[in-house]
Amino acid sequence: MKVIPLAEYSSFLLFLPLLLCCVMMMLMQSRGAAQRGPQITDVWFTPYTLQEAYDAIVKKTREWEIQGAQPSTRSFFLGGKASPKFEVLESIPPRLYKVRVGGQGEATFELTEVKGGGASVKTTYSSGVAALMRNFKANFPIQVPAVGKPCSSCGKPIMTDYQLCPYCGKSQTEACG
Ligand SMILES: [Zn+2]
């Protein structure tokens, strides 16, 4: 008589770990998706020198580290094995700087010296850090070079001595023949 409820109870116990596994996987998947997201590419020209621009990027992203220094509830559910809130993934001064803002995404800064002064900063970032990047750009000295010619592929104005279009990556050397 009481066999049926018992069997139900034990099957529930069997399913419980499975259920927990599913919940964990869903949590991890949503976290991964937030970090990947669609990639955004933006190129800034600045009157800063290569080194000045690099230093400004390091300084600004350090502010993100301070802002993001709060414990996350999600990391608690994942057994405390959370990725750090802020992490420098790659740094090749003064040309490359890549950071991860925990749970929000990654941002890569590629710096190129512009002949005649200044530098170009190519930023590639996931949509999760778009708000941070927008704020950064608004506070960064931006200067669009006055001299330019249209890219042979995408038509955007680029510096005459550029060998690669910073927007679409198309080689510009063929035109010089
Ligand atoms: Zn182009």
Residue 67: give its domain's CATH number. Answer: 3.30.530.20
Q: Rounded to the nearest whole angstrom, what is the distance from the C-alpha of residue 61 to the centroid of ligand 1? A: 28
Q: Rounded to the nearest whole angstrom, what is the distance from the C-alpha of residue 70 to the centroid of ligand 1? A: 41
Q: Rounded to the nearest whole angstrom, what is the distance from the C-alpha of residue 161 to the centroid of ligand 1? A: 14
Would 25 be classed as within a structural domain?
no
Q: Rounded to the nearest whole angstrom, what is the distance from the C-alpha of residue 164 to the centroid of ligand 1? A: 8
Would 72 be classed as within a structural domain?
yes
Q: Rounded to the nearest whole angstrom, what is the distance from the C-alpha of residue 83 to the centroid of ligand 1? A: 36
Would 155 be classed as within a structural domain?
no
- Which residues, 6+ apart, have CB-to-CB distance to 39 below 8 Å? 124, 125, 126
Would 131 be classed as within a structural domain?
yes
Would 15 be classed as within a structural domain?
no
Would 166 be classed as within a structural domain?
no
Q: Rounded to the nearest whole angstrom, what is the distance from the C-alpha of residue 95 to the centroid of ligand 1? A: 21
Total tally of structural domains belonging to the chain: 1
Q: Rounded to the nearest whole angstrom, what is the distance from the C-alpha of residue 147 to the centroid of ligand 1? A: 16
Would 175 be classed as within a structural domain?
no
Average pLDDT value for residue range 38-43: 92
Q: Rounded to the nearest whole angstrom, what is the distance from the C-alpha of residue 122 to the centroid of ligand 1? A: 13
Record the tokens describing residue 90, joined without a space.
């790659």
Confidence of residue 52 (pLDDT cuts 50, 70, 90): very high
Q: Please write the tens of the pLDDT for every residue from 100-152.
A: 998 889 999 999 998 778 999 999 999 999 999 999 999 999 987 666 778 88
| Structural domain harbouring 120 | 38-145
More confident site: 14 or 114? 114
Q: What amino acid occupies position 150?
A: P
Query: pLDDT at position 93, please?
Result: 97
Q: Rounded to the nearest whole angstrom, what is the distance from the C-alpha of residue 171 to the centroid of ligand 1? A: 8
Decide if 129 contacts 106 (C-beta within 8 A).
Answer: yes
- The DSSP result for the chain, as a single string, is --HHHHHHHHHHHHHHHHHHHHHHHHHHHHHHHHHH--EEEEEEEESS-HHHHHHHHHHHHHHHHHHT-S--HHHHHTTT-PPPSEEEEEEETTTEEEEEETTTEEEEEEEEEPTTS-EEEEEEEEGGGHHHHHHHHHTS-----S--EE-TTT--EE-TT-SB-TTT--B-HHHH-
Confidence of residue 53 (pLDDT cuts 50, 70, 90): very high
Q: Rounded to the nearest whole angstrom, what is the distance from the C-alpha of residue 158 to the centroid of ligand 1? A: 8
Q: Rounded to the nearest whole angstrom, what is the distance from the C-alpha of residue 159 to the centroid of ligand 1? A: 11
Confidence of residue 60 (pLDDT cuts 50, 70, 90): very high
Would 19 be classed as within a structural domain?
no
Euclidean distance between CA atoms 16 and 54, whole angstroms: 51
Q: Rounded to the nearest whole angstrom, what is the distance from the C-alpha of residue 150 to the centroid of ligand 1? A: 8
**Predicted TM-score (pTM) of this structure:** 0.59
Strand 86-92 and strand 105-113: the pairing is unpaired
